[in-house]
Amino acid sequence: MSIPPELHNPLRLGSTAPNFEAETTHGVIDFHEWKKNTWAILFSHPEDFTPVCTTELGEFAKLHSEFTKRRVKIIGLSCDSVERHHKWILDINETQNCTVKFPIIADPDRKVAVLYDMLDHQDATNIDKKGMPLTVRSVFFLDPLHKIRAQITYPASTGRNFNEILRVMDSLQLCNSKKVATPANWKPGYDVIVHNSLNDQQARELFPDMKVVKPYLRYTELQ
């Protein structure tokens, strides 16, 4: 089954995350109402009872407290029914030694997957039993205004790096609150880069310990 061109809606950084209503393992939700004015991560899976997805949902469950500490809501999506989701959660909890507490969206008709352009079009082998392209492993980082601030997409064969997901969220929240950027391989506690929108005088007022390597490359510590 091909996807009509009018359904394709490429989402870019800064786009408003489309709203939708859907069944989840926590009941029917209006996505924007569920999310409200918080940071959130929406992540997708091809289908239930798949091996890589099982490990990923387990990892999200184990890190749930880390996301909560950052005031980030997490919500999964898989292209199966709520009934199958609930059965799958039992397997996830058992095999991954965790407790899944976040909602998982039921998307058997791929409506949300199409809305967020999560489908895998790279070759003709990535087709499910209904003739639809499989859903890729997308991760959308959404800010309190429902804006897409970052996106990571993995193929169906490659499990996600959860250290990177947490690192990206830490960077987004930090740079959202201060006039800084984070350099390559940055982790919380590392030096950051002073934003180039600040001239030297403005930068010194905010960051007295700023270290200037080049006029365009200025580092500082954050306490």
Render pLDDT for 90-113 as a digit per residue (tens, 0 to 9). 999 999 999 999 999 999 988 998
pLDDT score recorded for residue 36: 94
Sorting pLDDT into bands at 50, 70 and 90, what band is 114?
confident
Average pLDDT, the chain: 90
The structural domains of the chain, ordered by start, are 5-160 (3.40.30.10), 178-220 (3.30.1020.10)
Give the neighbor-by-neighbor strand order of the sheet with 180-181. 180-181, 192-194, 217-220, 211-214
Q: Is 79 annotated as catalytic?
A: no
What's the pLDDT score for residue 47? 87
2 pLDDT above the threshold of 90: no
| Spatial CA neighbour of 164 closest among 32, 26, 46, 56 | 56
Task: Give 84: exposed, middle or buried? Use CB within 10 Å, 0-12, 13-18, 19+.
Answer: middle
Of 53, 79, 98, 175, the active-site residue reads 53
